[in-house]
Amino acid sequence: MKSVALICFGLTYLMWVAPETGYAQIDQKAIVGVWLFDEGSGKTASDSSGNGHEGKIGSGIKWIAGQYNSKALHFPGSAVVIVPHEASLNLLTWTITAWIKAEFKNGWVEFVSKSVPKGNTDFRNYVLQIAGDTGFLRPHFTHGAQQWKLTAGTTDLRDGKWHHVAGTYDQTVIRAYVDGRMEGEAVLKDVPDTNDEPLVIGAITPEVNFFTGIIDEVGLFNIALTEDDLKMIQEMGLIRALGVSLSEKLTTTWSTIKNEH
């Protein structure tokens, strides 16, 4: 099923790849997961990277018109998408990207997270958070239980508008990007804590700090993408920005299938 999904994705979207974009190609090996939320129905959020990280859509989340392509997911503030834990989802360097449209004004809210539930064992591998006091984007992780390592943006994301957001970390600098522009950075050399919890979209964990609003086109990478990479993703969408990389992965997978048969 994983191979078939990847083949269908590649054949369907190769036509969208621009031959000359002015941007460098993103390394296919850096792509961990791509959740486009374009299915339009059902309870599964497919991982279009071909890596098999399918998400389970919680009760109350609805399909709605998206920022890119056809659909997105509307989160009611009480439900999440859960991507089961796999070792490959624990990252020591990372980039998280997403389109969001917040529909709340108060509270500390996370919308992409791989974290242990709050308490004395608050181990966070990577998190995108909206700060309750400012509405600013706060990418962060922990190095040792509850030892937060973070930076923050400067845009209040609670304005009811679509924003493309991203956080990156390369074990040298952590950065926050909003709408293709870097808004904050901090020098850090710490190794992020890892854990055996699922990747959660729409909250910090499946139980607390729920996001209310629309989320579209979530991408996860095992390197810190550049500002140009992120501008390309913002301007082109994940399908077109990663199309060449995904097509190369398609070729590799198709070759493997032929060899197996």
pLDDT confidence of 119, banded at 50, 70, 90? Answer: low
Using DSSP's 3-state secondary structure scheme, residue 129 falls into strand
Predicted pLDDT of residue 261? 44
Q: What average pLDDT does range 252-261 have in this prediction? A: 40
Q: Which residue has the higher pLDDT, 253 or 195?
A: 195
Q: What average pLDDT does range 132-139 have in this prediction? A: 98
Please list, in sequence order, all residues whose beta carbon lies within 8 angstroms of the beta carbon of residue 114, skipping any fewer than 6 positions away: 89, 90, 124, 125, 126, 127, 195, 197, 198, 199, 200
Average pLDDT over the chain reads 87
Q: For residue 109, what are its two tokens?
A: 């809210």
Lowest mean pLDDT among 12-16, 165-169, 233-237: 12-16
Predicted pLDDT of residue 11? 36
- Return d(Cα 201, Cα 113) in angstroms, integer: 7
Q: What average pLDDT does range 53-74 have in this prediction? A: 93
Q: What average pLDDT does range 98-102 have in this prediction? A: 98
Share of the chain above pLDDT 90, in %: 75
Q: What average pLDDT does range 11-29 have in this prediction? A: 58
For residue 261, what are the CA distances in angstroms to 238, 255, 256, 258? 32, 10, 9, 5
The predicted model scores a pTM of 0.86
pLDDT confidence of 67, banded at 50, 70, 90? Answer: confident
- Return d(Cα 127, Cα 250) in angstroms, integer: 29
CA atoms within 13 A on the CB side of 38: 17
Residue with tokens 């992120």: 230
Share of the chain above pLDDT 70, in %: 82
**Cβ–Cβ under 8 Å, residues 64 and 214:** yes
CA atoms within 13 A on the CB side of 33: 29
CA atoms within 13 A on the CB side of 221: 26
CA of residue 85 relative to chain centroid, distance: 15
Q: Assess whether pLDDT exceeds 70 at residue 1.
A: no
Phi, psi (rounded to 5 degrees) for 240:
-75, -40
Q: pLDDT tens digit string along 187-218?
A: 999 999 999 999 999 999 999 999 999 999 99
Q: Structural domain boundaries of the chain?
A: 2-251
Q: 2-251 adopts what CATH topology?
A: Jelly Rolls (2.60.120)
pLDDT confidence of 243, banded at 50, 70, 90? Answer: confident
